[in-house]
Amino acid sequence: MTPSQSAEDADLAGDSGRRLAGEDLTELLAIVRRVVGARVGSLPIAEDLVQETLTRVLAAAPSVDPGLLEPYAIVTAKNLVASMWRDDDRKRRNQHRAADLRAPESPEAQALIDEERSAMASALGRLDEHERALLIEHELRGTDTRTIAEEEGTTPGAVAARLSRSRARLRVEYVLGLDSGDPPTDRCRPVLLALSSADRRRQRELDAATHLFNCDFCGRLSEPLLARGQRQDGVLRIPIAADPDIVKARGSVRELAGRLGFSRTDLTVLATAVSELCRNIVRFAGSGELLVELLEEPRPGVRVTARDRGPGIADLEAALRDGVSTYGGLGLGLPGVRRLMDEFAITSEPGAGTTVTITIWGKDPTT
């Protein structure tokens, strides 16, 4: 910005001796317009540049020889135009640096944070004092289990177990707090706790799976709790709602059972049984779910529970008899599944749905 620099210098150094006459100014204005116009054309910025040039020339006028005022104005105009282009160009080149790639903070973010904070606070409030102190000591202050164990005179293992129980309870209270609703039944909280701590024995005692399927509240809340531990558990939930789901479920069950080292024959038998159960769900109830569990005791096995909340089966005995079909099939669905599987159990309540549980055990090669 040499012109501006020199103009200011001139202003500082200049005395207020000479003034420009009106006609000189008009003449200068015309010249400057021409110079700027030749370079910038009729862009809206042109008039700004003209005015800027005149301001500077006027400021510098006292220290410039009146005869040189015209060339001074021309040079000033040229310099201003040039520096404008240069600035524009620099801006263009560096524009990408100005881009802020972080997503703008959404207005609800703060509300969400507040909500989470209050849910966490109420969850912490519901823990008993001992659990709370332990969690804070370990999670916030970072004290390791060994130090805590030494202080309390127990073993690190016991502390870790207590920590994991406390965390499980905290998770349950947290999702309950977020939902800000009270569980509809007395069973909800223990079931959620059993799910949260991934305690499969306790889940079985409480028949958590049935409760989850029947209680919408727990079904919803359990999602984040189950999402944590599903992988290591060897438990798979497969929603069934349409024909393609049958083929998919068949494949998933086969894949899961394949991990137990089942023979190809057993895998096919299992997949076929699953196929029949899924078809019943799609045909009669519209939708439902499969729960696949890997069993370890007494032998490796797979248990599949097919649940729906459909119309139920009015006459179970007839449904289990060969050759009775309600949709023009072979009538082999349920009786066939019963023949295929090692264990078979069915409960059905008209109007409330049907649950079929099948189990297949790995075959001991010596028997």
Q: Which positions touch other proteins (CB under 8 A)? A: 243-244, 246-247, 250-251, 254, 264-265, 267-269, 271-272, 275-276, 279, 282, 322, 329-330, 332-333, 335-336, 339-340
Q: How many helices (H) and strands (E) does the chain have?
A: 16, 5
Q: Which residue has the tokens 């054309």?
A: 41
Nearer to other proteins, 92 or 264 (CB): 264
Answer whether the bond into residue 183 is a cis peptide, omega within 30°.
no
**Least spacing, CB of residue 279 vs other proteins, in Å:** 6
Smallest CA-to-CA distance from 345 within 357, 353, 360, 361 is with 357
Nearer to other proteins, 8 or 342 (CB): 342
**Least spacing, CB of residue 312 vs other proteins, in Å:** 21
Decide: 149 and 203 in contact? Cβ < 8 Å: no
**Least spacing, CB of residue 264 vs other proteins, in Å:** 5
**Least spacing, CB of residue 304 vs other proteins, in Å:** 14
Decide: 48 and 40 in contact? Cβ < 8 Å: no
Nearer to other proteins, 110 or 263 (CB): 263
**Least spacing, CB of residue 319 vs other proteins, in Å:** 13
Instruction: Classify 293 as helix, strand or coil.
Output: strand
**Least spacing, CB of residue 255 vs other proteins, in Å:** 12
Q: Which residues contact 168 (CB under 8 A, 6 or more apart)?
A: 193, 196, 197, 198
**Least spacing, CB of residue 246 vs other proteins, in Å:** 6
Nearer to other proteins, 37 or 336 (CB): 336
Nearer to other proteins, 195 or 360 (CB): 360
Nearer to other proteins, 43 or 247 (CB): 247
Q: Which residues contact 131 (CB under 8 A, 6 or more apart)?
A: 162, 165, 166, 169, 170
Alpha-carbon gap, residue 180 to 189, rounded angstroms:
14
Q: How far is CA 22 from the centre of its chain?
A: 71
Q: Count CB neighbours of 225 within 10 A.
A: 22
Nearer to other proteins, 4 or 252 (CB): 252
Smallest CA-to-CA distance from 68 within 76, 239, 96, 236 is with 76
Q: Which residue has the tokens 């129980």?
A: 165
**Least spacing, CB of residue 291 vs other proteins, in Å:** 20
CA distances to 278, 325, 326 from 283, in Å: 8, 12, 10
| Region of residue 178 (phi > 0: left; psi between -120 and 50: alpha; otherwise: beta) | alpha
The structure tokens listed for 254 are 């086969």
**Least spacing, CB of residue 112 vs other proteins, in Å:** 41
Q: How many residues does the chain have?
A: 367
Nearer to other proteins, 22 or 323 (CB): 323
The structure tokens listed for 140 are 């916030």
Smallest CA-to-CA distance from 327 within 360, 268, 280 is with 280
Decide: 209 and 195 in contact? Cβ < 8 Å: no
**Least spacing, CB of residue 245 vs other proteins, in Å:** 8
Nearer to other proteins, 169 or 250 (CB): 250
